[in-house]
């Protein structure tokens, strides 16, 4: 079996830190206009770090998925209404959460545990509405749960 695979996915990614753990990346997926870059910008403003915007390099190394930016867009993020901005970019970071951006009415109130298959590795998956004010906090909490699942009731 090949334990090193690489591809590029459409989406945005940010690296988030939860105290006591290595930085963990979140991959934001969704159709054009669903708020991937906007939510990435808000995650950065809340203490995260840009990994990549619009396209994300995804590499499998043994049992881990690492994400980074393609060289042509490293350190760039498109801010709708403002323009293309330069930001410090995180080094390759382990992917620990995938967030599919959906309309508000498609966000489950009490979601079942789901995962996304990324190069043969199951990564926890959430469905969120990018433009909800609480979306960045929900993502930080979800990353915390990846590290400490015993905090989740049920």
- With a pLDDT cut of 70, the percent of the chain lying above it is 97
Backbone Cα Rg of the chain: 15
Calculate the alpha carbon distances from 13 to 80, 98, 110, 122 in Å. 17, 9, 25, 17
Average pLDDT over residues 117-127: 96
pLDDT digits (tens, 9 = 90+) for 100-121: 999 999 999 989 889 999 999 9
* pLDDT exceeds cutoff 80 at 1: no
According to DSSP, the β-strands at 121-128 and 93-101 are parallel
Residue 117 phi/psi, 5-degree rounding, is -85, 110
Output the pTM of the full model.
0.94
- Ordered structural domains, the chain, with CATH: 4-151 (3.40.50.300)
Triad 75, 19, 74: Cα angle to 5°: 10
Within the chain, where are the H helices? 36-45, 135-147
- Please enumerate in sequence order all residues whose Cβ is within 8 A of that of 86, keeping only pairs 6 or more positions apart, or say none: 75, 76
Identify the band that residue 2 occupies on the pLDDT scale cut at 50, 70 and 90.
low
- Residues with catalytic roles: 10, 36, 54, 109
């Amino acid at each position: 079996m090949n334990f090193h695979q690489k591809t590029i996915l459409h989406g945005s990614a940010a690296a988030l830190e939860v105290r006591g753990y290595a930085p963990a990346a979140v991959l934001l997926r969704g159709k054009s206009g669903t708020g991937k870059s906007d939510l990435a910008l808000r995650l950065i403003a809340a203490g995260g770090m840009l990994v990549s915007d619009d396209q994300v390099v995804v590499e499998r190394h043994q049992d881990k998925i690492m994400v980074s930016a393609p060289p042509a867009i490293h350190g760039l993020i498109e801010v709708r209404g403002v323009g293309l901005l330069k930001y410090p970019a995180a080094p390759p970071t382990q992917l620990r959460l995938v967030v599919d951006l959906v309309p508000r009415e498609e966000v489950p109130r009490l979601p079942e545990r789901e995962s996304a298959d990324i190069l043969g590795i199951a990564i926890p998956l959430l469905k969120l509405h990018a433009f909800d004010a609480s979306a960045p906090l929900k993502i930080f909490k979800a990353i915390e749960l990846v590290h400490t699942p015993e905090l989740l009731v049920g």
